[in-house]
Structure 1
């Protein structure tokens, strides 16, 4: 398969994408010069996802706002393509369990499969070590939900301490912890990712890598070391595909990312590839069949 060609593998689960209507939920982390004028809704997602053979998706929260998650759940209730929602709650609240209970009773609440917080933006380097945060994440796990870890590579040791301290919680590392591809020595990232992967309750997404390299000049070989290291330490059964659409549009199209990843996984067996393309996400997020 050549780069840019769209894979036709049926049944893919896109375990990581976003939706936004900018008037309701501005997202300043999206480059304002390239994407501020656009809304990203299921109408825009469906054609590119279906063309890539995607049968189901997981939409992931983008802002720390209580109003976003019910909106995403409502979208999931109406759109059969969206099979799961990773939402947001204030992890430090005293009533995290009750907030999760209420979310599950809004329209589409049965599609809530996980919770995420924008840890990468937290100024406190000990955020994941805080007792109140850990108590909130424990409540997420007790509710049967996964917890998505959005961290930068320097935060991986704290993430590993958290994962080790809460073995009953299913953790999903977003974007492989944002490795410093081509910008710095990846030695610390490689070591810290291996340490995280040693915890059996941790999985990871092959997503978000194209925005960690030069958007204008990257080639698939720039991503291969990170993908191969993730395969080595996690194995295919604990890795899942994510498009990171529409953020990926800063560096590539949906189709090109699917094609590039398909090439990077070319040495794997068919069952191993199936794990990454759909089975791991279905198991970890406990998705209903699409």
Structure 2
């Protein structure tokens, strides 16, 4: 069975997502029910909900909304990676409130669509250090050109577990392997970073990719981090831009055809269970 570490639910009747206006193919509701139907068909047994960059005043409302989904009978959702704003003075109080919510397993501040200088701010970096000694992870969603900045953040907080989203968001369609490859290798030298093999179908040519198209990118990430520091994620519904959940799961199994059962299990479930205590 698979642990999906990267589900987005979009419900425009409950929350506001300003960024959706600029991504027309995703600008609609993507319900938990729709996801759960295909997830169960694909062998997904457990899911972490990933924040969806809602309007800032609704960040805690999003976590509450995810809690209602998690509380449904037989829900796949067993945890949430919540949004946060480390660049703000209010972060410390926000962090304290989330410590009381067992659903919250970690945080993410979307960086790949923000100015590079955001993570350079002293307050951002000081607040990131506050995660040390807590149960919380921090997801890094960065572009290849931002990986050096990601390394700086990781080095500032060596007792925080960081998760690199989407293999570092490589441009697979353009086959741009550098500087992505070198920087992923360098980032992986930090023992407090894990990598998420997630949603990379969205970065390939949607009309022509096959499993072998994805292999160099997934395999390099796995080789750099090792089998004990990789997890799997769907990035649903973003993965629908490249064929959808079932296509991505099928491609994943094809990519893992020649690995050992122990290695497959680590990537698909056991590492995630250990990292987030699922």
Give the alignment's TM-score, normalised by structure 2.
0.92
CA distance in 2, matches of 1:100, 1:70: 15
1:119 to 91, 107, 111: 111
1:85 to 74, 80, 84: 80
CA-to-aligned-CA distance 1:133-177 (integer Å, 9 cap, x gap): 112212233432000001011100110111122100000000011
| Structure 1: gaps (5+ residues) | 1-9
Q: Does 1:144 align with 2:135?
A: yes
Contact in 2 for aligned 1:129/1:161 (Cα 8 Å): no
Q: Does 1:284 align with 2:246?
A: no
1:248 to 236, 239, 249: 239
Contact in 2 for aligned 1:115/1:140 (Cα 8 Å): no
* Aligned pairs for 1:190-201 within 5 A: 190-201=181-192
**71-80 vs 185-194, which deviates more?**
71-80
Provide the secondary structure at the position in 1 that maps to 2:132. Answer: helix
CA distance in 1, matches of 2:22, 2:119: 27
CA distance in 1, matches of 2:67, 2:98: 9
Aligned residues: 272
Q: Does 1:94 align with 2:85?
A: no
CA-to-aligned-CA distance 1:199-218 (integer Å, 9 cap, x gap): 00000111121111111222
C-alpha spacing 1:43/1:115, structure 2 compared with 1 (3 Å): same
2:37 counterpart residue number: 47
Provide the secondary structure at the position in 1 that maps to 2:167. Answer: helix
C-alpha spacing 1:98/1:197, structure 2 compared with 1 (3 Å): same
C-alpha spacing 1:33/1:94, structure 2 compared with 1 (3 Å): closer
2:201 to 205, 210, 214: 210
* Aligned pairs for 1:66-77 within 5 A: 66=59, 67-77=61-71
Provide the secondary structure at the position in 1 that maps to 2:25. Answer: helix
2:263 counterpart residue number: 272
Q: How many Å apart are 1:35 and its aligned residue?
A: 3.3
Greater relative contact order, per chain length (Cα 8 Å cut-off, separation 6+): 1
Contact in 2 for aligned 1:46/1:81 (Cα 8 Å): yes
Give the alignment's TM-score, normalised by structure 1.
0.88
Q: Does 1:176 align with 2:167?
A: yes
Provide the secondary structure at the position in 2 that maps to 1:214. Answer: coil
C-alpha spacing 1:154/1:254, structure 2 compared with 1 (3 Å): same
CA distance in 2, matches of 1:237, 1:133: 29
Q: How many Å apart are 1:187 and its aligned residue?
A: 2.2
Instruction: Give the superposed CA RMSD.
Output: 1.8
CA distance in 1, matches of 2:248, 2:205: 15
2:225 counterpart residue number: 234
Provide the secondary structure at the position in 1 that maps to 2:254. Answer: helix
CA-to-aligned-CA distance 1:23-72 (integer Å, 9 cap, x gap): 32235358644332x31222111111111111100100011532322222
Q: How many Å apart are 1:184 and its aligned residue?
A: 4.9
Q: How many Å apart are 1:92 and its aligned residue?
A: 2.0
CA-to-aligned-CA distance 1:63-122 (integer Å, 9 cap, x gap): 1532322222332233531011000122123242321232344xxx21100100111111
Contact in 2 for aligned 1:96/1:139 (Cα 8 Å): no
